[in-house]
Chain A
Amino acid sequence: MPNYILYAIPKILIMVGFLFNVGGILTWVDRRQSAMIQDRVGPNRAVIKIGKFELRLWGLLHPAADGVKFFFKEDFMPPKADKLLFSLAPILAMIPVLCLVAVIPFGDTVCPDALIQTVGNVTQLPNIARSGLCTFDPRTGLQPIDLQIVSLDIGLLFVFAMAGQGIVSAAISGWSSDNKFSLMGALRASSQMVSYEVTLGLSVVGALMIYGTLRLGDMVRWQSEHAWGIFVQPVAFFIFFAALVAESKRIPFDLPEAESELVSGYFTEYSGMKFGMFYFAEYMEIVTSSMLVVTVFLGGWGLPFVHRDGITIAFGEGMLAQLPLPHLVVTVFGVLAFFIKTLTLCWIQTFVRWSLPRFRYDQLMGLCWKVLLPVSLANIFVTGVVWLLLDMAPPFVGNMLQLVGDATQGFVAVLVTFLVGSAVFGLFRSRTKDPRIIGASAELVRSAGKSPQSPMQA
């Protein structure tokens, strides 16, 4: 079997496995976190019993139980539905989400020669360039391996093409269901998704002008060398992120499936695993959109001051510290960094869902066409003028910018250390249980002069 097929199999397994597992766990995170925010107990019924031993894992078994349940539920199709389109829609919802990960790089290019050197002798540091090019040894004949399923020249366009397919599935599922609510949900969904796709496409143009490439791997390299996209293009970042949340049709943009108005929108008539496929595709979309934001704006696999040859803390010309690291360690750091950033962003998306109320439909469309679209056009103009002025500026301005870029890397490093530190500190701090925090209802009961009755009021 040729090498490129052999290398592709583990990469596909990693990405699809990550999507499936994180998508499943996110359904749990969503439910558990909503319970915490709304002062409820949350999912806790699924249990593995071995004799007297009960394994509950804070409800973590629920995604698995849900999956099994979905398969054994009745698979119902309305008699007047368009049979072909009705069956095709859930399949079409899932395929593009899985294909989208093809172009997303989850680590820096691996140089097999350098890896072999470090495996043979861990203490010996490989001769590896910082530029991202491998020193190719003709004796071993091993080509560098991109940690990306396909390295396409049109990477980002491919992502948009795949993301756009979601509209097809939403539209035909609503159309074929023979249900007014489904049809209205489908119309809302397609209208919303095409509108936000325009914004999504135009907001990222500012970043593309700076990176000068559509290859996602090269974007990450630019960010590792200079500064993360969020510092270079903050406006583009926020518009892009908002548009991506709108594309995945989640609160505050969940008008197509607004429960209080449309039951559950375009998949009202679906049951069993066919419903599960829509539901699961939505959660996998959260993961893919997080991966996309991480790659384009949050430095991808890059970590502050970590280069291919090790850690170099430098501001402009002033070098502070240097620590050479083996190729394997740097690669593992990069892959871990990418996945941890993705998980953090997934968590932020579930957190947003339980913090914001739903828009009205006219507000939703107004936000897209009257606010985000003009702002992203203005962003293109401002980026163009500033960037061309900088090209004309004397060299010391460039050095200043490099210094500022390095300062943002330092800022990120300090911020992450602080956040992780305070999270660890918060977890290990002994907490006195304040009844007011545990139950707002207990407060109410006490103020009425009674004593709390149920465990919820305790």
Chain B
Amino acid sequence: MHVQTYAPMFMLFVAATAIATLFFTLATVLGPSKPSAEKSLPFECGSDSDGAQHVRLSVKFYLTAILFVVFDIESVFVYPWAIQFRSLGWMGLASMMGFLLVILVGLVYAWKKGALEWET
């Protein structure tokens, strides 16, 4: 039963991998290769570059990643409830709203703390 369900998916996965690998291999094999010192420089609009290792990045990206983990896991919890929502009735709605409220408090906290501000 499981084989019947998942065999076509496996076939599609193999086909997708084959297509992507074929594109990749053809590009490597068919194209010419003439490396030069100029070409090897990172393309940053002509100004000299010392590579990407020394870039300092905004901590906002890190905060966004943390917030994503919280809210994405939240949505995973909401999904099974949404499917069974009608059989769970008012009690289920009240429980889920309690859960969402806790998360919402987290969002408001992050908002007030300035984690969602990008101007500064």
Residues of A within 8 A of B (CB): 2, 4-5, 7-9, 11-12, 16, 70-76, 78-80, 87, 90-91, 94-95, 98-99, 101-102, 149-152, 157, 177-184, 187, 190-191, 194-195, 197-198, 201-202, 205, 208-209, 212-214, 263, 268-269, 272-274, 276-277, 361-362, 365-366, 369-370, 373-374, 377, 380-381, 384-385, 387-388, 391
Contacts and interface: CB of A to CB of B under 8 A. Distances in A.
Contacts of A152: 5, 9
B30 A387 contact: no
Contacts of B93: 384-385, 388
B49 A202 contact: no
B23 A94 contact: yes
Nearest to B103: A377
A32 B61 CA distance: 37
B40 A78 contact: yes
Residue of B28, B82, B93 with most partner-chain A CB within 10 A: B82
Q: Which 9 A-B pairs have the closest CB atoms?
A: A273-B27, A362-B118, A8-B8, A98-B16, A201-B75, A194-B68, A179-B42, A208-B82, A75-B31
B43 A269 contact: yes
B45 A263 contact: yes
Contacts of B102: none
Interface string B37-71: 00110111100010111010100110011011001
Contacts of A205: 75, 78-79, 82
A377 to B, nearest CB: 6
A381 B90 CA distance: 12
B48 to A, nearest CB: 12
A209 B82 contact: yes
Interface string B1-30: 000111111011101110111011011101
A373 B83 contact: no
Contact of B68 (A195, A202, A269, A385): A195
A179 B44 contact: yes
A388 B119 CA distance: 42
A184 B44 CA distance: 12
Residue of A197, A269, A369 with most partner-chain B CB within 10 A: A369
B100 A75 contact: no
Given A91-B21, A387-B86, A72 B31 contact: yes
Contact of A191 (B8, B15, B21, B61): B61
Contacts, number: 220
Contacts of A369: 67, 107, 111, 116
Contact of A178 (B34, B39, B51): B51
A97 to B, nearest CB: 8
A76 B28 CA distance: 9
A279 B89 CA distance: 47
A198 B71 contact: yes
B118 A366 contact: yes
B66 to A, nearest CB: 10
B44 A180 contact: yes
Given A8-B7, A187-B61, A361-B118, A380 B78 contact: yes
A150 B33 contact: no
Given A179-B43, A362-B118, A194 B31 contact: no
B8 A4 contact: yes
A152 B83 CA distance: 15
A191 B64 contact: yes
Contacts of A180: 42, 44, 49, 51-52, 55
A83 to B, nearest CB: 12
A197 B72 contact: yes
Contact of A16 (B15, B51, B52, B100): B15
Given A4-B7, A179-B52, A263-B43, A73 B31 contact: yes
A195 B9 CA distance: 28
Contacts of B28: 75
B55 A184 contact: yes
A365 B119 CA distance: 11
6 contacts: A73-B31, A79-B35, A80-B42, A202-B71, A212-B86, A362-B118
B40 A98 contact: no
Nearest to B116: A369
A208 B9 contact: no
Nearest to B68: A194
Nearest to B51: A178
A268 B15 CA distance: 28
A282 B41 CA distance: 27
B16 A181 contact: no
Given A12-B11, A98-B16, A99-B16, A273 B23 contact: yes
Contact of B4 (A4, A73, A101, A381): A4
A214 B43 CA distance: 45
B8 to A, nearest CB: 4
Contact of A388 (B4, B90, B100): B90
A102 B9 contact: yes
Nearest to A5: B7
A90 B24 contact: yes
A169 to B, nearest CB: 11
Nearest to B27: A273
Contacts of A79: 35, 40
Contacts of A71: 26-27, 30-31
A73 B26 CA distance: 11
